[in-house]
Structure 1
Amino acid sequence: MATNIFNCPLPDEKGYFGEYGGAFIPPELQTIMDEITASYEEIRQDPEFLEELADLYQHYVGRPSPIFHAKHLSEKYGADIYLKREDLNHTGAHKINHCLGEALLAKKMGKKKIIAETGAGQHGVALATAAALVGLECDIYMGEVDMAKEHPNVVRMHILGANVIPATHGRRTLKEAVDTAFENYLKDPVTQLYAIGSVVGPHPFPRMVRDFQSIVGVEAREQFQLMTGKLPDNLVACVGGGSNAMGLFTAFIDDESVAMHGVEPAGRSLDIPGENAATITLGKPGVMHGFKSYMLQDENGEPQEVYSVASGLDYPSVGPQHAYLKDLGRVNYGSINDKEAIDAFFELSREEGIIPAIESAHAVAYALKLAQEPDVGTILVNLSGRGDKDIDFVVENYGKDYGIPQD
């Protein structure tokens, strides 16, 4: 199964999905990116690497992750809802899928350190885990606001031996963490590898992260057919940078009978700039962090301030393949606001006994709306992460509204 995750024909050799993607970086960094591309091309065809990765997926991560039929929600909302349980992976989310691949690549390239940004902390925890496993140093850049909000994941990163470095400028969230990580990567791109946490950044990262994440869809396609005898009618996944969504969607792109839905954060308001992170819904093409895609921009064409209750979704751009799929009309991109996401967080917890990450709760909320449409058919949601990291924040800010006793 592992060899199937590397066969998608896009992007082209320069990293473009249609007009999106590419590498908008200084010439000296392009040389480094060319080395990463060449190394990736080598390892993705290396049977020894594929065997090592497949072994880790099975015996370390716990793959394949199961699909669960959410019977109570299905009965309540009138359509069969299924969950791809990426929350059951080691480290609690889909992020470990590409972090293991990037860490192995860094090791084979002779790098001494891997660095990255993180929003909700799941990518940081997964990369710190992979670094510990393969014996590399690890620096994680995280916005100060997110460090306070996702404190349990900060503790996990420290326990795993990573250095957690705060981003202290701007809104001190995910975009600023990416800025800070890129700045520090540029100081030494030779001995360290920037292990980007989503399908964003300059080529080859949107392709590489997608390829490692595509194991999600490869598994789901086979599992769903074994469970039901057919393909799902709908796929649903949250979209910030977009790695978990591309992980699920890639295996189904050529299946015209399967509708695909990407769910962005509407935050507190779609009508007020800076109060959401609905990039595809409200943005337009632009360049940031070394790639071209849809982007939320201010009046000067600079990245707009963004917000979401989910720290892993508040990013002012999106993976270039998502922009391409949006223009093609292959994926429908909608949005869910904070209240709808928190409602779904509690509903999944209380109806099915599964506490989701707030990011994943956006996808669940959208699926519950979709289920109420006539003749919608089956719905497969990528439950991209578990909510352990969010419990303190949710109880402190929303617990009273949902009947949780306050200290």
Structure 2
Amino acid sequence: MSEQTSTRENFRRATVPDDNGFFGAYGGQFLPPQLEGPFAEITKAYHEIENDAAFINELRYIRTHFQGRPTPVYHARTLSLENGGAQIYLKREDLNHTGAHKLNHCMGEGLLAKYMGKKKLIAETGAGQHGVALATAAAHFGLECEIHMGEVDIAKQAPNVSRMQLLGATVVPVRHGLRTLKEAVDSAFEAYLADFENSIYCIGSVVGPHPFPMMVRDFQKVVGIEAREQFHEMTGNLPDVVEACVGGGSNAIGIFSAFLDDPVELIGVEPLGRGTAVGDNAATMTYGMPGVIHGFKCYLLQDEEGQPSPVYSCASGLDYPGVGPEHSHLKDTGRVRYVTASDEECRDAFFALSRKEGIIPALESAHAVAHALVTAREMGTGTVLVNLSGRGDKDMDYVIENWGIGQDS
């Protein structure tokens, strides 16, 4: 075997699940018997369209003329100078239609549902960005839409709830457990189980049973493909470091995927929240162990009986006890380094980016910015590319209530 072939095969093994949906030891399908058939149907349909020219061309048209892609890479020059270290660049997914990266896979999932003849899209949402994106896709394709959302997140993300409803979606409040993202996933799964013949469950991240970690990753790869080309065109080089926040991990795997075979350091930033105690954070990679949740195996914050532990983050889109199986595999192989940022660090980065660059980030994205500032100072020179996965409109009520608008940055 030639060195080139060996490298290609190693790269393939590192990034493509096997026939059972496993990335190394993680992923797979752990389903009730009544869902095995519906998920096999989704898998078959996805493999039929993933390399179909007509499907790809329609999705490309949508991305250009509806989503407004490509989103730009922006040099945060003032923030870089104020920080006194490496130069910081931002992949501006906050400028994607609906204000976050989520629409990248939602339009793909909606188009897949249309191909399969489904009439309804069902999903969960935490921060509301996935819900808004899926409601947008449903409106675009003329489909029904049902979004399950924990009551805690409904209160925190009221603007996004109104946007979903304005787009025609039914928002289902989830009132059990901690009433956040994990419970919303439980509720959405139950709704899909009751109506899988007419609907498709559109998972909001690179989590869940196979084929969703692969499928959502593939739809999000556009972020990394664009960013790599744009950064090279701007600077003549690749970035030294690429950083992204990690909850379930869709925005991170989207941008990391293009750099996995390059000599670029990849860093995923998890929410440390209020601290290291159980229930005070959602730092799955840092404090979790392998386990099974929502039909797949991954690193999981869990108790001694293997049940998911309570989690917390100021960023609703990150407060999930599990994480994508590909991320779990990338942690074990050492290709990606996973670190944490606290609520306080997130807050400071939120205000810094707002005031130094005129860009109000989502609290999820502010975690990545927070650690990128640390990385840039430690490096001294070089470049750091951050996936700015969403904008902060949705977080304004929460920020003002908890931190005010006079916070020194």
Aligned partners of 1:170, 1:202: CA distance in 2, in Å? 22
Q: Does 1:136 align with 2:135?
A: no
Which residue matches 2:369?
A: 364
C-alpha distance in structure 2 between counterparts of 1:376 and 1:303, whole Å:
41
Q: Distance in 2 between matches of 1:384 and 1:47?
A: 28
Q: Which residue of 2 aligns with 1:3?
A: none
Task: Normalising by structure 1, report the TM-score.
Answer: 0.96
- Bigger mean CA offset, 75-84 vs 194-203: 75-84
Q: Which string of whole-angstrom CA distances, capped at 9 and with x for unpartnered residues, describes residues 306-327 of structure 1? A: 0000000000000000000000
**Residue 58 (structure 2) pairs with residue 52 (structure 1):** yes
Shift of 1:7: 12
Partner of 1:39 in structure 2? 45
Q: Residues of 2 paired with 1:232 and 1:7: CA distance?
A: 24
3-state SS of 2:171 partner: strand
Residues 248 and 39 (structure 1 numbering): CA distance in 2 closer, same or farther, change over 3 Å? Answer: same
Pair 1:280 & 2:285 matched: yes
Q: Within 5 Å, give how 1:279-298 maps onto structure 2.
A: 279-298=284-303
> Which amino acid counterpart does residue 378 of structure 1 have in structure 2?
T
CA apart distance, 1:137 = 0.2
**CA–CA separation in structure 1 for the residues paired with 2:407 and 2:366:** 16
The partner residue of 1:307 within 304, 312, 331 is 312
Q: Does the aligned pair in 2 maintain the 1:283–1:296 contact within 8 Å?
A: yes
Residue deviations 1:239-277, cap 9 Å, x none? 00000000000011011x10000000000012x101000
Offset at residue 73 of structure 1 (A): 1.2
TM superposition shift of 1:9: 5.5
Is residue 27 from structure 1 mapped to residue 39 from structure 2 by the alignment? no
Q: Name stretches of at least 5 consecutive residues in structure 1 with no aligned partner.
A: 1-5
Which amino acid in 1 is paired with 2:140?
A: L
Q: Give the 4+ runs in structure 1 shifted more than 6 A.
A: none
Identity of aligned residues (%): 65
Partner of 1:214: 221
Measured on the aligned residues, the alpha-carbon RMSD in Å equals 1.4
Matched with 2:174 is 167
- Partner of residue 274, structure 2: 268
Q: Deviations over 1:41-67 (max 9, x none)?
A: 011111011000000101111100000
Count of residue pairs brought into register by the alignment: 397
Cα gap change, 1:376/1:334 in structure 2, threshold over 3 Å: closer, same or farther?
Answer: farther
- Give the whole-Å Cα distance in 2 for the aligned partners of 1:162 and 1:254: 40
Distance 1:26 1:64 in 2: 40
CA contact (8 A) 1:231 1:258 kept: yes
SS at match of 2:379: coil
Whether contact under 8 Å (1:73, 1:81) holds in the other structure is: yes
Structure 2's unaligned 5+ residue stretches are 1-11
- 2: CA distance between counterparts of 1:34 and 1:148? 36
Query: Matched residues in 1 for 2:129 and 2:258: separation?
Result: 24
Does 2:397 align with 1:392? yes
Residue aligned with 2:400, SS: helix
Match of 2:111 in 1: 104
Distance in 1 between the 2:330 and 2:120 partners?
34
Distance of aligned partners of 1:308 and 1:9 in 2 relative to their CA distance in 1, 3 Å threshold: closer
Structure 2 distance, partners of 1:45, 1:8, is 21
Deviations 1:96-126 (A, max 9, x none): 0000000000111011100000000000000
> CA contact under 8 A between 1:233 and 1:376: conserved in structure 2?
no
Contact residue 370 and residue 376 of structure 1 kept, 8 A: no
Q: TM-score, normalised by structure 2?
A: 0.95
Q: In the alignment, is the contact (CA less than 8 A) between 2:93 and 2:99 conserved in 1?
A: yes
**Partner residue in 2 for 1:94:** 101
Q: What pairs with 1:199-348 in structure 2 (closer than 5 Å)?
A: 199-255=206-262, 257-270=263-276, 272-348=277-353
**Once the 2 structures are TM-superposed, how far is the Cα of residue 401 of structure 1 from its aligned partner?**
5.7
| SS state at 1:252 partner | coil
1:383 aligns with 388
